[in-house]
C-alpha cells in the first residue's frame, strides 16, 4: 500500500495539472475532488512510511534518508526528511486554501502557483526516480514522464 498510495497520488496530480493547464477553473468540483484526493493519497503515503517503515521514529527516518542519500549521491544528508514533511504540509495547506477561499485561490499569483508545483514535482522526482531502483524507478519515470507530457500538451502556448 505504501508504494501504491504515492503512485495514485502522482497520477491524480497529473490529472489535476492537466485541468489547471487547460485553463479549467480551479474552483470546480471536479478539480477540487481530484486535487484533494491526490493530496489525501500523499498524506496516506507519508503516514504509512512513518508508521510502518520508521515505527514513528523521526531519528530512524532521518538516518534512513541520510543512508539513502549517501548511497545515491555519495554524502550523508538526512535533512531531506524535512522536505518530505513540508511536501505534505504545504499540499494540505493548499487544499485547505482551495476549499476555504476558492476565489482567493483562483486569483493567487502565477509565481506562487509555479513555485508550489515545482516544489511538488521536485519531491516527486526525487522520491520516485532518484532514490529508487529497479521496477519502482521505472514506474516513477513513467509517472514523471506523464506529468511532463501533460505539461507540454496543455501549456498555454499550445
**Residue 154's pLDDT is what?**
72
- pLDDT of residue 2 exceeding 80, the answer is yes
**Residue 13's pLDDT is what?**
95
Region 119-144: what's the mean pLDDT? 91
Percent pLDDT > 90 in the chain is: 72
Burial tier of 133 (Cβ tally within 10 Å: 0-12, 13-18, 19+): exposed
Sign of CA dihedral 148, 29, 108, 9: negative
Structure confidence by residue, pLDDT tens digits, 71-122: 999 999 999 999 999 999 999 999 999 999 999 998 999 899 989 999 999 9
Amino acid at each position: 500500500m505504501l508504494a501504491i498510495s504515492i503512485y495514485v497520488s502522482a497520477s491524480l496530480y497529473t490529472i489535476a495539472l492537466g485541468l489547471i493547464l487547460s485553463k479549467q477553473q480551479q474552483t470546480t468540483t471536479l478539480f477540487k475532488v481530484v486535487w484533494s484526493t491526490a493530496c489525501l493519497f500523499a498524506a496516506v503515503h507519508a503516514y504509512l512510511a512513518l508508521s510502518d517503515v520508521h515505527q514513528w521514529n523521526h531519528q530512524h527516518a532521518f538516518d534512513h534518508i541520510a543512508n539513502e542519500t549517501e548511497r545515491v549521491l555519495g554524502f550523508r544528508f538526512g535533512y531531506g526528511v524535512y522536505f518530505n514533511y513540508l511536501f505534505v504540509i504545504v499540499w494540505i495547506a493548499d487544499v485547505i486554501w482551495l476549499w476555504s477561499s476558492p476565489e482567493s485561490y483562483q486569483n493567487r499569483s502565477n509565481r506562487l502557483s509555479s513555485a508550489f508545483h515545482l516544489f511538488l514535482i521536485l519531491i516527486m522526482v526525487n522520491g520516485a526516480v532518484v532514490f529508487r531502483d529497479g521496477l519502482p524507478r521505472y514506474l516513477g519515470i513513467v509517472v514523471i514522464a506523464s506529468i511532463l507530457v501533460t505539461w507540454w500538451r496543455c501549456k498555454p502556448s499550445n
